[in-house]
A and B are shown apart, each in its own frame.
Chain A
Amino acid sequence: METRFRTLKDIPLEEELVPGTMICAGCGGALLVRIFEKVLGSNVITVNAAGCMTMLSVFPFTPFKSSWFYVAMASAPAAAQGVRDALDILIKKNKIDSKDNLKVLVLTGDGAASGIGLQSTSAAIQRGLDFYYLVYDNEAFSNTGFQASESSPFASATKTTSPTETHEGVMSQKKDLFEIWRAHKPPYVATISPAFIKDMMQKIERSSQFKGPKLFIANSPCPPGWGIESDQVIRVANLAVETGIWPLKEAINGEVRHTWMQKRRPVEEYLKTQERFEHLFKPTRNDEIINQLQKRVDDYWSSVKK
């Protein structure tokens, strides 16, 4: 399919979100939402699961030019189905003009997407709901101050997994939402990154040709949670991709294709940028854990078809 995003300069100049939100300075998730909404355009309803992005609209202010609907943490995809179905009913009955139809976007954090909201997400995919689903994956419950979620990476420090002499942070592996979703055989699944905006815009565009679930999981650096300066967000996101920790890929009708396949840098370069991995280097270097992290990434990539 011909893309309208051949270079970064093809980005739509219309802003769907105006400034003035309460979201943290330098929030990776906020950037993702801004770009996502730009590509989708103005006729959108954003159905928001409880999380950081809840803070986008706080009475009496909203940054949105289009509609927004805050639902509970567990059931945003279900509410999205209610919205979609009602729109379809009303369009069929000519109560809504089809030119005023809305695209439905569910916005959710990783805590909801991988845990309390996974059931309703799975059901929405299984029913074939025609919607976009964007997970801003900041790898913890950031809105409540950065506690471990099911998406927190191995060996990362969070407020509930403080590294000590006997603990190396999160002791379990990050849940693989991409594969969980792909197992449902939706038409479109992709990973995206705020450091790869052109890739992201092309993926949203590509997904839009499909009716049904269009699912995105986005690496979403969180300055206060990850312990990085806000200006480093894009750098860190870039390293996540270039070290192979955050593979950029898509699956169209289940067929996986990687959209970034270059020479990888050592994982260590990514880890060193963030305070949440500081305990792997200070006071003494923990080669065992660092090697484990590297091996996991290597194993992943060795299984990727060239």
Chain B
Amino acid sequence: MITVSLFGRGGQGIKTASHIVGDAAFTSGNHVQDQPLYGAERRGAPISAYVRISQTPILERGKITNSSLVVIADDSLLDSIVDNPLQTVTDSTVIMINSSKGVSEIRTRYNINNVLAVLDLTKLTQDITHKSIPGVAVASTTCKLLGFEFDVIEKSLRAELKEIGIHQEDISRNVELARSCFNQTTHAKIETITKIKIKESPIIDPIYHHPQISTCTITATGNSRLRERGAWSNFKPVIDYEGCTKCMICYVYCPDSAFTIDVKGFPVVDYDACKGCNICKTECPTKVISLVRRENK
């Protein structure tokens, strides 16, 4: 069995990508299971999806804990403490990351020694579809790594995109995108899960803790600040202070407390807190806020 884990953020088309991969595997004559995993649906929040592909019936369910192939559609997840996709990686896992950074930079920064492909799928997606939903590019690249034929991929993606109500012209652009991704990727040798050494953990006998500990409460306050949300968007608002009248509209309308007012009365954006909703840009009466692509994307 080949296990594929896809990681991304709500709104990036990860669920659809997993369906395209699942479809392609199924059409190619395999036993398949695919499943998205998200808590409460949130645009920008981390989500994952899993595809199991096997020549024999699949005796597994749920989240994949040991992946043959890990696909990361959003490199900002690599910096996450809680949602880090590298948790399911073993020595023989093949990793594909959508990033504008170079392979060597990613290797060094995240200490990755596995077979690794790094592709800027977001840029390719924007160039071809004029949108920044990389799901199809992710799906096509994944299928190529898995060794599926393009005809199969095209058929799967047309069916899946139609199912979620995508218009015909957008589907055509996405087919073009998929072809481009297919052509620039090479087939990789993906290990079946039976070859992967599974990390085991001994059973413990839990002991009782005082109710102050063992009740599900949070006694820390305001600690969600530890979770950076800047990665939720490809763009960030940048203020041109020359024309800023300190009207505070941007500060007032920010749903995420991402602005502060400095001593001179100017608004300052906390980019780690900004989810990129861009209300500030739209509401700014003097139009001094512009959107700039985030560096780390």
Least CB distance from B105 to A in Å reads 27
In the complex, which residues of chain A have a beta carbon less than 8 angstroms from the beta carbon of B247?
Answer: 8-9
Asked if B224 contacts A26 (CB within 8 A), the reply is no
In the complex, which residues of chain B have a beta carbon less than 8 angstroms from the beta carbon of A20?
Answer: 224-229, 273
CB of A21 within 8 A of chain B?
Answer: yes
Contact partner of B282 (CB less than 8 A), chosen from A23, A61, A235, is: A235
CB of A286 within 8 A of chain B?
Answer: no
CB of A11 within 8 A of chain B?
Answer: yes
Number of chain A residues close to chain B: CB under 8 A: 46
CB of B254 within 8 A of chain A?
Answer: yes
In the complex, which residues of chain A have a beta carbon less than 8 angstroms from the beta carbon of B275?
Answer: 25-26
Q: Chain A 1-45 against B: per-residue CB contact (8 Å), 1 yes, 0 no?
A: 000000011010101011111111111101100110000000000
CB of A251 within 8 A of chain B?
Answer: no
Asked if B277 contacts A63 (CB within 8 A), the reply is no
* Stretch of A52-60, A84-92, A296-304 that contacts chain B: A52-60
Least CB distance from B124 to A in Å reads 23
- Measured in the bound complex, the distance between the Cα atoms of B39 and A143 in whole Å is 10
- Measured in the bound complex, the distance between the Cα atoms of B226 and A64 in whole Å is 13
In the complex, which residues of chain B have a beta carbon less than 8 angstroms from the beta carbon of A52?
Answer: 40
Asked if B221 contacts A62 (CB within 8 A), the reply is yes
- Measured in the bound complex, the distance between the Cα atoms of B255 and A194 in whole Å is 10
In the complex, which residues of chain B have a beta carbon less than 8 angstroms from the beta carbon of A145?
Answer: 41
Asked if B255 contacts A31 (CB within 8 A), the reply is yes
- Measured in the bound complex, the distance between the Cα atoms of B39 and A145 in whole Å is 11
- In the complex, chain B residues 230-280 whose Cβ is within 8 Å of any chain A Cβ: 232-233, 247-249, 251-258, 260-261, 270, 272-273, 275-279
Least CB distance from B236 to A in Å reads 12
CB of A128 within 8 A of chain B?
Answer: no
Asked if A13 contacts B261 (CB within 8 A), the reply is yes
CB of A244 within 8 A of chain B?
Answer: no
In the complex, which residues of chain B have a beta carbon less than 8 angstroms from the beta carbon of A290?
Answer: none
Secondary structure at the B interface, as helix, strand, loop or mixed, is loop
CB of B283 within 8 A of chain A?
Answer: yes
In the complex, which residues of chain A have a beta carbon less than 8 angstroms from the beta carbon of B43?
Answer: 24-25, 223-224, 230
How many A-B pairs have beta carbons closer than 8 Å: the answer is: 134
CB of A197 within 8 A of chain B?
Answer: yes
Least CB distance from B229 to A in Å reads 6
CB of B59 within 8 A of chain A?
Answer: no
- Measured in the bound complex, the distance between the Cα atoms of B261 and A34 in whole Å is 16
- Measured in the bound complex, the distance between the Cα atoms of B40 and A62 in whole Å is 16
CB of A255 within 8 A of chain B?
Answer: no
CB of B15 within 8 A of chain A?
Answer: no
CB of B207 within 8 A of chain A?
Answer: no
Closest to A60 in B: B218
Size category, B interface: 35 or more
CB of A265 within 8 A of chain B?
Answer: no
Asked if B277 contacts A231 (CB within 8 A), the reply is yes
CB of A232 within 8 A of chain B?
Answer: yes
Asked if A59 contacts B216 (CB within 8 A), the reply is yes
CB of B220 within 8 A of chain A?
Answer: yes
- With A25-B232, A231-B278 known as contacts, the answer to whether A19 contacts B248 (CB < 8 A) is no
CB of B19 within 8 A of chain A?
Answer: no
Contact partner of A25 (CB less than 8 A), chosen from B221, B224, B233, is: B233
- Measured in the bound complex, the distance between the Cα atoms of B273 and A269 in whole Å is 33
Q: Which B positions have Cβ atoms within 8 angstroms of A?
A: 39-45, 216, 218, 220-229, 232-233, 247-249, 251-258, 260-261, 270, 272-273, 275-279, 281-283
Could you list 18 further interchain pairs (A-B, Cβ under 8 angstroms) beyond the known A25-B276, A60-B218, A233-B255? Answer: A8-B249, A13-B261, A18-B222, A18-B257, A19-B256, A19-B272, A21-B224, A25-B43, A27-B255, A35-B252, A55-B40, A59-B218, A62-B220, A62-B222, A194-B253, A229-B278, A230-B278, A231-B279
Q: Which A positions have Cβ atoms within 8 angstroms of B?
A: 8-9, 11, 13, 15, 17-28, 30-31, 34-35, 52, 54-55, 57, 59-66, 143, 145, 194, 197, 223-224, 229-235
**4 nearest CB pairs, A to B:** A19-B273, A26-B277, A20-B224, A231-B278
Please name 5 pairs of A and B residues whose Cβ atoms are closer than 8 Å in the assembled complex, sorted by A.
Answer: A17-B222, A19-B273, A25-B255, A62-B223, A65-B222
